[in-house]
């Protein structure tokens, strides 16, 4: 097939700006071929090159004594003692999920699982953070149903427990939903596999499923805004096959045990191109690929299509040549393709041969490292106007409004579609706080959470960025875990707009400050920009995924609320209602500033909870909806009524940070208050868990009635 001639329209259609194309001409000293243009476009789009965000990402804290491998590899690696490591990352699949919700979400899960097992880790937990438009928007129902089914369809079959996540609705996501998928795996700390190739003349091996035309140009699509031609983009979405992925994982882990693997890289965004360039660049080598050897699913595929295909469940590996037979036997056992498709070369070239002809011959290191990098202009987000008066309300009415909203209702409808218990090590299923998974065959457990409050980030990017990390810290603390490290999935609008770039810069500053202060370095992450439709951007949504460690089951703070237990708030309540859930759900207002996060206080209060875990029968962090919602959720989960002391609206629903709700018996409460006095931690008795009604001051309603509303309103809104 003849390749089309290059034209300004074709260059533009590849998402390359005229000055970027000029840079290509400068680098290679000639006009690129069509395949080469595709390769540049794949490597230089925002999704793969981080060209708008790199400058700021470098400012994040990524180190710590616990960090074995920070950002830059497929996933971050963190020491959990006893020679073991947890390997994790969070990644978005926003654009594909909006176009084709089931497959978009499914392959998002597939991609993140691959990132984890590529490093030699067996996935042991998954989470997902989802943001949708308002429930009444005509697309929302289909998106929610498709995305949730897609996540379940992939993760359940693959066999990884989904133990946490979040779901929110806001009109700002009407034109762009967010699907952020997290996965964590377990590996021996001294058996981590990396992507850097080494040695000249080593075989480059293609593993897994065959290459088809699906997903061609996906990464470029994911780096553009949407408009009304979106339906035409459907063919750029990949199709997932979790059964193949499961076999690919087992085969890769088995192969790694044979010592055959020099380096390995999964084929994700921009498939063969990105994975080959990554391996060569990191190893300071060139790569030669012979496309005739690539296992193909469709006839007469062009070099362009093969280099840009995002067919799923594929890996590229550099193999020790003497182990070839042994390696091939493993893949034969699992009925997967195994093909030598090229070799490492000494020259700095990315050389692609198809039908005996050279279709691309590019300087590999330049392709990887010369992507344009932008210092985009940015404008700081203005300080919000002070909060206007908020009227006092009947607290039960306020609670009812919150739990009737799918934002704050129980999420059973979602998480019961996910297998949360496969692998039989789940110690706490989704629902209330962080998920807990035992480290198989040891006494240890790992805790997982994902958090962000986009309303806060929009009002005040820096405080909002801090808050996302602080809430993750609290959720891990509330189950008794010591937070270890985090991953960030930064979802924003068009970075070419200074106000959006300002949100990004502010959020990064806040995240960086919080991660430093709370010792939760960022070890992996992903940036998703251009989440805009017809110029309308999403709420800035920097999702923080975080992992905590418990050395034994004795450290777990359970969820054991009994009739007669005292309710205590640890931390100080001032009554901050700006940008609160109450304001949004009851008064339809999103004004005021985000709550301030005092990182020293967060640290002190978190340490206090961990130090006194033996006195605590149940614990949850206070976030959206404040004390009233948290206390109700705890009561609902336990099936025990609640009596909260009378207090003004802002004290019941305020979202001051650094707070936990604790339940324990009277003696334990006394001891906890003495300990708090000694540690200088504010603590306050706010009521007790008792009876079968929810009573706040003088207002009350039967627990059963509120529980029924809480359990049904999510499905009522979107099912």
State yes or no: 688 annotated in a binding site. no
Of the pair 157, 230, the CB lying nearest other proteins is at 157
- According to DSSP, the β-strands at 261-266 and 178-188 are unpaired
Q: Is 156 in the site for other proteins (CB under 8 A)?
A: yes
Tell me the closest approach of the beta carbon of residue 427 to other proteins, in angstroms: 6
Contact between 250 and other proteins (CB under 8 A)?
A: yes
Do the beta carbons of residue 655 and residue 583 sit within 8 Å?
no
Q: Pattern 318-337, binding to other proteins, x per CB under 8 A?
A: ----------------xx--
Q: Which of 3, 20, 361, 416 binds other proteins (CB under 8 A)?
A: 416
Q: Pairing relation of β-strands 522-528 and 482-491?
A: parallel
How many residues bind to other proteins according to rule CB under 8 A? 34
> Hunting for tokens 């990315």 — which residue is that?
350
Is 14 tagged catalytic? no
What's the distance, CA 673 to chain centroid?
37
**Which residue in 189, 230, 293, 422 binds other proteins (CB under 8 A)?**
422
- DSSP assignment of 534-585, as one string? TTEEPPPEEEEEEEEEESSGGG---B---TTPEEEEES------TT-HHHHH
Name the minimum Å distance from CB 565 to other proteins.
20
| Alpha carbon 92 to chain centroid, angstroms | 6
CA-only gyration radius of the chain, Å = 26
What is the smallest separation between the CB atom of 232 and other proteins, expressed in angstroms? 30
Selected binder of other proteins within 64, 159, 199, 363 (CB under 8 A): 159
Residue closer to other proteins (CB basis): 322 or 335: 335
Q: Which part of the chain contacts other proteins (CB under 8 A), choosing from 19-27, 163-171, 244-252, 253-261?
A: 244-252
Give min distance, CB of 112 to other proteins, in A: 17
Q: Which of 423, 671, 699, 709 binds other proteins (CB under 8 A)?
A: 423
Nearest to 522 by CA among 531, 513, 534, 530: 513
Distance between CA atoms of 132 and 130, rounded to whole angstroms? Answer: 7
Residue 694: how many CA atoms within 13 Å on its side-chain side? 25
93 flagged as catalytic: yes
- Largest Cα–Cα distance of the chain, in whole Å? 84
- Contact assessment for residue 349 and residue 286, using Cβ atoms and an 8 Å cutoff: yes
Residue 242 within binding range of other proteins, rule CB under 8 A: yes
Shortest distance (Å) from residue 243 CB to other proteins: 3
Binding region for other proteins (CB under 8 A) out of 48-56, 112-120, 130-138, 426-434: 426-434
**Residues 432-451 interacting with other proteins (rule: CB under 8 A):** 438
Distance CA 553, CA 121 (A): 23
From first CA to last CA, the distance across the chain in angstroms is 48
What are the Cα distances from residue 292, in Å, to 23, 121, 577?
Answer: 31, 32, 63
516 is in an annotated binding site: no
The pair of structure tokens assigned to 412 is: 């059973």
Indicate which single residue of 247, 288, 366, 444 sits in contact with other proteins (rule: CB under 8 A). Answer: 247
Phi first, then psi: give them for residue 582, nearest 5 degrees. Answer: -60, -45
Q: What is the smallest separation between the CB atom of 708 and other proteins, expressed in angstroms?
A: 15
Catalytic residue, candidates 93, 170, 565, 643 = 93
From 455, 413, 440, 393, select the one nearest 581 (Cα to Cα).
Answer: 455
Does 114 show up as a binding residue in the annotation?
A: yes
Residues forming a β-bridge with 702: 693
Tell which residue, 11, 53, 39, has the closest CA to residue 372: 53
Residue 431 annotated in ligand binding:
no
Minimum distance from CB of 260 to other proteins (Å)? 20
499-558 residues in contact with other proteins (CB under 8 A) are 553
Is 239 one of the binding residues for other proteins (CB under 8 A)? no
Half-sphere exposure (CA, 13 Å, Cβ side) for 275?
32
Exactly one of 417, 494, 516, 685 binds other proteins (CB under 8 A); that residue is 417
Q: Can residue 88 be called a binding residue for other proteins (CB under 8 A)?
A: no
Could you list the residues known to form a binding site for Mg(2+), using ranges: 91, 115, 266, 526
Could you list the residues known to form a binding site for ATP, using ranges: 50, 89, 488, 525
Q: Which residues are catalytic?
A: 47, 93
- Residues lying near other proteins in the complex (CB under 8 A): 149, 152-153, 156-159, 241-244, 246-247, 250, 334-335, 412, 415-429, 438, 553
């Amino acid at each position: 097939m003849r390749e089309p001639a290059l034209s300004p329209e074709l260059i533009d259609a590849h998402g390359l700006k005229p000055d970027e194309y000029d840079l290509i001409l400068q680098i290679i000293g000639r006009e690129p071929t069509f395949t080469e243009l595709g390769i540049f476009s794949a490597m230089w789009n925002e999704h793969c090159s981080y060209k708008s965000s790199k400058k700021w990402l470098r400012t994040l804290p990524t180190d710590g004594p616990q960090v074995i491998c920070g950002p830059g590899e497929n996933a971050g690696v963190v020491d959990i003692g006893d020679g073991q490591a947890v390997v994790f990352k969070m990644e978005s699949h926003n654009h594909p999920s909006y176009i084709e919700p089931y497959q978009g979400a499914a392959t998002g899960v597939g991609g993140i699982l691959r990132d984890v097992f590529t490093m030699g880790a067996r996935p042991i937990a998954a989470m997902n953070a989802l943001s949708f438009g308002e429930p009444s928007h005509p697309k929302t129902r289909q998106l929610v149903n498709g995305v949730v089914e897609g996540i379940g369809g992939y993760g359940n079959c693959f066999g990884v427990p989904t133990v946490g996540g979040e779901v929110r609705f806001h009109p700002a996501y009407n034109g762009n939903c967010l699907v952020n998928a997290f996965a964590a795996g377990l590996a021996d700390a001294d058996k981590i596999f990396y992507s850097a190739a080494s040695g000249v003349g080593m075989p480059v091996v293609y593993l897994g499923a065959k290459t088809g035309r699906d997903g061609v140009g996906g990464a470029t699509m994911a780096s553009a805004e949407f408009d009304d031609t979106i339906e035409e983009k459907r063919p750029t979405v990949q199709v997932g096959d979790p059964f193949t992925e499961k076999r690919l994982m087992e085969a890769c882990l088995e192969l790694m045990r044979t010592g055959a693997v020099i380096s390995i890289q999964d084929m994700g965004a921009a498939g063969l191109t990105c994975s080959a360039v990554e391996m060569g660049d990191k190893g300071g080598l060139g790569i030669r690929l012979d496309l005739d050897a690539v296992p193909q699913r469709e006839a007469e595929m062009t070099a362009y299509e093969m280099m840009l295909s995002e067919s799923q469940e594929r890996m590229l590996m550099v193999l020790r040549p003497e182990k070839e037979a042994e390696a091939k036997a493993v893949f034969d056992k699992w009925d997967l393709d195994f093909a030598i498709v090229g070799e490492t070369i000494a020259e700095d070239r990315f050389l692609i041969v198809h039908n005996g002809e050279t279709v691309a011959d590019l300087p590999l290191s330049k392709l990887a490292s010369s992507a344009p990098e932008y210092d985009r202009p940015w404008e700081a987000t203005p300080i919000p106007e002070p909060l206007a008066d908020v009227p006092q309300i009947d607290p039960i009415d306020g609670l009812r409004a919150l739990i009737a909203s799918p934002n704050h209702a129980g999420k059973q409808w979602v998480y019961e579609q996910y297998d949360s218990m496969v692998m039989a090590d789940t110690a706490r299923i989704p629902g209330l706080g962080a998920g807990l998974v035992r480290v198989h065959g040891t006494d240890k457990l790992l805790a997982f959470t994902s958090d962000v409050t986009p309303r806060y980030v929009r009002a005040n990017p820096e405080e909002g960025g801090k808050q996302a990390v602080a809430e993750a810290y609290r959720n891990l603390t509330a189950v008794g875990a010591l937070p270890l490290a985090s991953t960030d999935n930064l979802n924003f609008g068009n970075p070419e707009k200074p106000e959006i770039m300002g949100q990004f810069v502010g959020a990064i500053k806040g995240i960086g400050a919080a991660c430093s202060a709370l010792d939760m370095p960022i070890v992996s992450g992903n940036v998703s920009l251009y989440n805009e439709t017809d110029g309308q951007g999403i709420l800035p949504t920097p999702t923080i995924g975080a992992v905590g460690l418990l050395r034994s089951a004795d450290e777990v703070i359970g969820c054991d609320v009994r009739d007669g237990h005292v309710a205590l708030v640890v931390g100080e309540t001032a009554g901050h209602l700006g940008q609160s859930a109450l304001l949004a759900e009851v008064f339809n207002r999103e004004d005021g500033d985000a709550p301030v996060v005092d990182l020293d206080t967060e640290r002190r209060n978190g340490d206090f909870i961990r130090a006194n875990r033996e006195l605590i029968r149940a614990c949850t962090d206070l976030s959206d909806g404040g004390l009233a919602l948290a206390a109700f959720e705890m009561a609902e989960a336990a099936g025990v009524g609640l009596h909260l002391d009378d207090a003004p609206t802002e004290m019941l629903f305020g979202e001051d940070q650094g707070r936990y709700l604790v339940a324990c018996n009277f003696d334990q409460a006394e001891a906890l208050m003495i300990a708090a006095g000694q540690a200088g931690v504010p603590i306050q008795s706010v009521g007790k868990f008792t009876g079968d009604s929810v009573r706040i001051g003088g207002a009350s309603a039967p627990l059963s009635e509120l529980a029924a509303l809480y359990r049904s309103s999510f499905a009522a809104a979107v099912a």
